[in-house]
Amino acid sequence: MRTGRWRRGGLLAGVAMLGACAAQPVAFRVNFSMSEARRAPLTVRFRAEAPAEHRVQWHFGDGQKGEGRDTAHTYYQPGTYTVRAELLDTRGRVRSVATGDVRVESSGPERAALVVLLGLGEVRLSAAGSVAYRPATPQFSLDGQAAGKGPLPVSAGEHRAGVRLPGAGGVLTREVTFRMAPLVRSVPFETEVLRLTNQARARGWNCATLREGGQSLPPLKRLPELEVAALAQSAGMALHGYFDHRSALDGSTPATRIQAAGLRAAASAENIAGGQATPQAVVDAWLRSPGHCRNIMGDFTHLGVAHVERPGTRYGHFWTQVFATPLEAGGP
């Protein structure tokens, strides 16, 4: 399953001179990146290409300002915002401007979301996927006690997590009940899945002909955030008896689990499997399934892998691959 992608666009290049006393205008270019969905709250990253001796001042169109060649801004309300970038010289004079519009769509009614990232004897909590049309800091609870994001140690049995989030229309809340039980995780199995996946990419596995010899692709690198998201999905399926990309535990999707784990991705995807007892068996199954194969041979840079075993369940073995191309360092 492929998940959210980020789109890139460009603001108008600025060459207009402002002020009669200004010198000749200096050309510069501004571009931006944002979630393809464009839904509020929407974080947009702005970049300016300009001569080193100049600085850039931003007017984001919602009454807020910023400075720097590389900056991010969050729009909390739907609407169309006219962004203005000003190029200033060393004396603070405006030499050029660039303008353009950012359209922000509604995400519907405000709501609190709670993503419960299960681990082995621990849990992480996140409000990723919430919709609050104002700046808000979530407050979490675990079994009735105030808690941080985690990782939080939890014993076997049932637990209840909650989140409170101030919204523009009042306080938003959500609670999720989850269970914890012993699981067996095999890191060697996960490492072998990574090796077999990169082997298929290096040998140019063709998802249409189911043969090697196609275009070779660079290896995927493991990333801690993707490992957290993958383990949460495998553990969730093993402990709560579902087999789906959308979690029956908290309703999270692959994209929100990645965000909850602390990563913003330009593109992402997820493969799941159940029942295969070895890394070779699960990778072979994925490579012979068109959608899963396209993820393995996709244009991604990083991977997280998780395998857990829970004897006595329908599948016994639960596998997850989470693929992503992270946004550049410093991105929104």
**Please, what's the b/e burial string for 72-106 (b: 16 or more CB within 10 A of its CB; e: otherwise)?**
bbebbebeebebbbbbbbeeeebbbbbbbebebee
**Are the beta carbons of 71 and 64 closer than 8 angstroms?**
no
Residue type, 175: E
Nearest to 182 by CA among 115, 240, 250, 239: 239
Give whole-number Cα distances, 316 to 86, 98, 141, 278, in Å.
Answer: 60, 58, 31, 12
Which amino acid is located at 294 in the chain?
R
Rounded CA-CA distance 153/281 in Å is 33
Predicted confidence at residue 1, as pLDDT, reads 52
Per-residue pLDDT 10s for the chain (332 aa) are 544 343 333 433 333 323 333 456 677 788 888 888 899 999 999 998 888 889 999 999 999 999 999 999 999 999 999 999 999 988 899 988 988 899 999 999 999 999 999 999 999 999 999 999 999 899 999 999 999 999 999 999 999 999 999 999 999 999 999 999 999 999 999 999 999 999 999 999 999 999 998 899 999 999 999 999 999 999 999 999 999 999 999 999 999 999 999 998 989 999 999 999 999 999 999 999 999 999 999 999 999 999 999 999 999 999 999 999 998 643 33
Q: From CA 242, how far away is CA 5, in angstroms rounded?
A: 26
Token readout for 173 is: 């809340």
CA–CA gap between residue 148 and residue 25 (Å, rounded): 51
- Phi first, then psi: give them for residue 118, nearest 5 degrees: -75, 145
